[in-house]
Amino acid sequence: MFDLLTIVTYNAVINLVIAIIAAIAWWRHRRQTDIIYWLLTTWFMVLGAVCTSMTELLPYNILGYVGGTIYVTKTGFMCLGFKAFYGQPHRLREAFYVSAPFLVLLIGASVLDDPGPTRIFLIYLGSAINLALCAQVLWRAGQGERLPSGRLAAYILTVYAGANALISPLAILYPVQFVGRIPVSDWMAYTSILLLILNVLSFLMVMVLKLERSSEIQRQLAERDALTGAANRRTFLREAARLEKAGEMAIAIVDLDHFKVVNDTFGHKGGDDALVQFVARAGMNLPADAVFGRLGGEEFGICLPGHDRSAARVVLETLRDAIARMEVRSDGHTFGLTMSCGYTVTDDRVRSLDAWMADADMGLYAAKNNGRNCVVAYRPEMALSVLTTPAAGTVLPMAEPSRLTA
């Protein structure tokens, strides 16, 4: 038979190690709210385990009321940690939403002839409720940000909650016996080991999720444009090359019209806001499988896999119309924006991606010289037109856009 008091003491030591690791993490990242909540969770675990292991020194009321409330509250802080990690709204008092009423029930159990089994039952049940709320946070978060281990963490918290819920009736069916002031219980000894393992696994998942989040941020910094969040040039070209080998697709190059005027009129803040809002609107109007990236400045690239010439025109015209209707807002100013677009469709010819991009660029050149705010498909005769244009590679000056109003 396992010695329950020894197991509880080991539990306190292991929780102390976890608490020290959490304290080190907090010291390095003191502004991260999720780490603060998890740090509080670990120290509440230590306090709860210490109270339980000191049955010969502490009054029974401290063990029954304070120790029990600490155990339930620590799972409340764990739930707040996951909410903060996933950016979900929360308040500090939520950590006590379950433990506060359960403290009242713990005190109310004093009217019973033998309140001990009921109090132990309530402690397990309160922890199960908080852990179920933790699992709910993880399941909901999995519908948004998809970290590789997010679903596994949700499963572990679900099992952790279920274990507490299933164990709770044992406190009433098989009451804990006391030899002097030392508790003796076979079922509590075995289940304490199980819950300790699940607790350690939960905090391992916390560390794994933090590492995955950090890796994801680094990946996005390497693959995403810092201002707009769109794919950067390197990522766009890599994905375009992959899609080009997979089959027919349309490649488009988009340029925002008169963007220098936007910068000159509303400053670089206005230009930045225009880029960000353009990318947001583009994301709303492009197919889910489209690849969209910022090539540089106000120039963007679009890949539409599986689109022929007519299908691509429908998508690009829809985008052009949406941008033309959009109102950019920046520091109290409102102004309009238009885009010019050139595109081409790949076929079975063996050509480099650079060649296809050059074709789309010639379509863009034609769109600029056709008055802007239009979509032009590449045609082979455009190459000759560009070569015979006196100022090849330049765009003829156009009238200032009438929609630029402060």
Residue 345: closest CA among 310, 321, 389: 310
| Cα-based distances in Å from 227 to 234, 272, 296 | 15, 7, 11
| Residue 298 among the catalytic residues | yes
Catalytic residue among 298, 299, 317, 327: 298
Residue recorded with tokens 């509440």: 44
Residue recorded with tokens 């330049």: 394
Q: What is the CA radius of gyration of the chain?
A: 31
Please give the DSSP secondary-structure letter assigned to residue 377: E
The torsion of the CA quartet 201, 206, 209, 210, rounded to 10 degrees, works out to: -140
Looking at the DSSP bridge assignments, the partners of residue 291 are 303
What DSSP line would sit under 89-117, residue for residue?
---GGGGGTTHHHHHHHHHHGGGSSSHHH
Residue recorded with tokens 């539990």: 11
Looking at the DSSP bridge assignments, the partners of residue 184 are 177
Name the burial class of residue 6, with classes exposed (0-12), middle (13-18) and buried (19+) by CB atoms within 10 angstroms of its CB.
exposed
Give yes or no for a contact between 363 and 374, defined as CB atoms under 8 angstroms apart. Answer: no
Give yes or no for a contact between 43 and 19, defined as CB atoms under 8 angstroms apart. Answer: yes
Residue 240: closest CA among 363, 357, 376: 357
Residue 286: closest CA among 242, 257, 320: 320
- Active-site residues, by number, are 298
